[in-house]
Amino acid sequence: VQMGKQVVDGLREVFHTKPLHRLITERQADIEQALKQDLNRNTYNTSLFELISIENDIKLAESDMADWAAPRPVKKNLNSALDDVYIKPEPLGVVLIIGTWNYPWAMILQPLVGAIAAGLILLDKILLSLCCWHE
């Protein structure tokens, strides 16, 4: 069990939102072209409704993560008067992301940003092939 925890903690250090942001910025033209071919969507709509909103979520998660993850003090009672009492947010659970055909990038990657930023590990064949795509 301890070995599994070390592996999970190591993976959390590797998977952050920066590679996702890099994927979107470096491949923006490819994404726009693919959505033009698949959905006949113009590049303005793709940029406005999919890519910019994902980038904004990534920036928000990166700037506010310390506040989101910070321990929050809790009201003390007689039994805990001499203790440090707080709630510490920790990533637990499993995330299932189901995308849609009409906004495939936004509906998959926006929830993924929150899951990655929280430290959850999500493996998906489609997302792995996108994030690990090499020329």
Residue ranges per structural domain of the chain:
2-131
Q: What is the pLDDT of residues 5-38, one digit of tens each?
A: 666 555 555 557 788 888 899 999 999 999 999 9
Contact call for residues 113 and 20 (beta carbons, < 8 A): yes
What CATH architecture is 2-131?
3-Layer(aba) Sandwich (3.40)
Phi and psi at 43, nearest 5°, equal: -65, -30
pLDDT interval class at 114 (50, 70, 90): confident
Half-sphere exposure at residue 84, Cβ-oriented, CA atoms within 13 angstroms? 3
Strands 72-73 and 86-87: antiparallel
The pTM for the full model equals 0.71
Q: Which long-range contacts (CB under 8 A, 24 or more apart) does 3-9 make?
A: 8/121
Q: Does residue 11 sit in helix, strand or coil?
A: helix
Residue 66 burial (CB count, 10 A): 8
Contact call for residues 112 and 97 (beta carbons, < 8 A): yes
Beta bridge mates, 87 = 72
Q: Return the sign of the alpha-carbon dihedral for residues 133, 99, 40, 46.
A: negative
pLDDT interval class at 72 (50, 70, 90): very high
The closest alpha carbon to 52, from 104, 105, 102, belongs to: 105
